[in-house]
Amino acid sequence: MSKTIIEHLQGNDLKAISRLMSAVENGSQTDDVLNDELYSHSLDSVRIGITGPPGAGKSTLIDKLVKLIRKDEKTVGVISVDPTSPFSGGALLGDRIRMNQHSMDSGVYVRSMGNRGMTGGLAKKSHLMGDILSCTGKEVIIFETIGVGQSETEIIENADITVVVLVPEVGDEVQFMKAGPIEVGDLFVVNKSDKDGAKRVADLLSEYLKDSVEARQFIPEIVLTTASSGEGVAELYTKSFNLIAHLEKAGILEKRRERQYLNRVRGAVRDELVQLFWNGQPELVLDSEISTHRANGRSPYSAARHLIDSLK
């Protein structure tokens, strides 16, 4: 069965791709054999993360990057993570609509998915979605984060490099310098650079990055773009792939991927144990016991420890 699925994916069967992605996103269990096959066929793709505040023009920038990637005769997959609707559970924005001009191109696959309450900018299964697209032969995988601000650092666990997109209206300079994405960025973009203040933001950011060089392996470059017109996007494309080549040559890329693998294993163990714990106990019984702990004045931490010890 797993072999058949992999064959459909490698044949770029759109229905098979969509069906498997939906199953993964909805929490359907994929077996270990399929996961191993997906992983073994997902090691050759380059993965680029695009993050930044809402309204920075990330989707427009990605749209232009996809065109350049295809012009370079590379295949590309895009995973856009949007806020989850509290009513339907689906993604609210739907970046596939913005990029539907690529829908007839077999070398492009765009998927929007809800974050399902995750606060790190990506959805829980984003990395597995990347594996699926990589298995289809997509040479470049682009992750677009939700744009949630300081907590948006999970992108580094899914991408080879992280591109941070800012705009002239970035706001309080001190606050944006402290933001999480600034700390994880490998390459910075000041988009909407045709507006006043773009150069000032770039200069300010440049000084900040130079001052924080001790905590980094290199000083990230800054690119000014106007995604709506395409200005500067070719430079961003070139610098992104030059950076990946540099990281690979320096051995940094392999270390990043090793760390990502380690963190994915840790995350999978944590999720598995949580699922086993809650699924292994009748919910009403647990709720009743938890209420008893509260009535007896136990702290939440003490109550949790008691529940775990009772399983032993």
Q: Name the pLDDT band for 278 (thresholds 50, 70, 90).
A: confident
Q: Residue 118's pLDDT is what? A: 47
Is 90 exceeded by the pLDDT of residue 184?
Answer: no
Is 80 exceeded by the pLDDT of residue 12?
Answer: yes
The residues, ordered by sequence, that sit 6+ positions from 84 with a Cβ below 8 Å of its Cβ are 90, 91, 92, 114, 115, 116, 117
Which of the listed ranges 186-195, 215-224, 295-304 does the model predict with the highest average pLDDT? Answer: 186-195
b (16+ CB within 10 A) / e for 68-101: bbbeeeebbbbbbbbebeeeeeebebebbeebee
d(CA 300, CA 286): 13
Q: Residue 256's pLDDT is what? A: 92
Is 80 exceeded by the pLDDT of residue 179?
Answer: no
Tokens standing for 101? Answer: 């001009």
d(CA 191, CA 232): 9
DSSP 140: E
- Tell me which long-range contacts 23-30 makes (C-beta under 8 A, separation of at least 24): 24/125, 24/128, 24/129, 24/132, 25/113, 25/114, 25/123, 25/125, 25/129, 30/128
Considering only CA atoms, which of 75, 44, 61, 52 is closest in space to residue 236?
61
Dihedral Cα 263, 268, 269, 273, nearest 10 deg: 140
Query: In degrees, to the nearest 5, what angle opens at C-alpha 242 toward C-alphas 121 and 199?
Result: 65
pLDDT in tens, 255-270: 999 998 888 888 888 8
Q: Residue 255's pLDDT is what? A: 94
Summarize the confidence of residues 30-40 as an average pLDDT: 85
Q: Name the pLDDT band for 182 (thresholds 50, 70, 90).
A: confident
CA neighbours within 13 Å on the CB side: how many for 215? 10
Q: Residue 123's pLDDT is what? A: 44
Per the model's pLDDT, the better-predicted residue between 31 and 86 turns out to be 31
Tokens standing for 231? Answer: 């200005």
Q: Residue 108's pLDDT is what? A: 96
Considering only CA atoms, which of 13, 84, 11, 74 is closest in space to residue 48?
74
Considering only CA atoms, which of 187, 172, 120 is closest in space to residue 149?
120
Provide the mean pLDDT of the chain. Answer: 82
Is 70 exceeded by the pLDDT of residue 178?
Answer: no
d(CA 238, CA 241): 6
Is 90 exceeded by the pLDDT of residue 283?
Answer: no
pTM over 0.75: yes
For residue 108, which phi and psi values (nearest 5 degrees)? -130, 135
Where would I find the beta strands (DSSP E) of the chain? Answer: 46-51, 76-82, 108-114, 140-144, 161-166, 187-190, 221-224
Query: In degrees, to the nearest 5, what angle opens at C-alpha 131 toward C-alphas 129 and 136?
Result: 100
Q: Residue 34's pLDDT is what? A: 87
* Least confident window among 1-10, 23-32, 142-151: 142-151
Is 80 exceeded by the pLDDT of residue 167?
Answer: yes
Summarize the confidence of residues 193-211 as an average pLDDT: 88
pLDDT in tens, 228-258: 999 999 999 999 999 999 999 999 999 999 9
Are the CB atoms for 20 and 132 separated by under 8 Å?
yes
Q: Name the pLDDT band for 46 (thresholds 50, 70, 90).
A: very high
pLDDT in tens, 97-156: 556 677 788 999 998 876 544 443 344 578 888 999 999 999 999 999 876 544 445 666
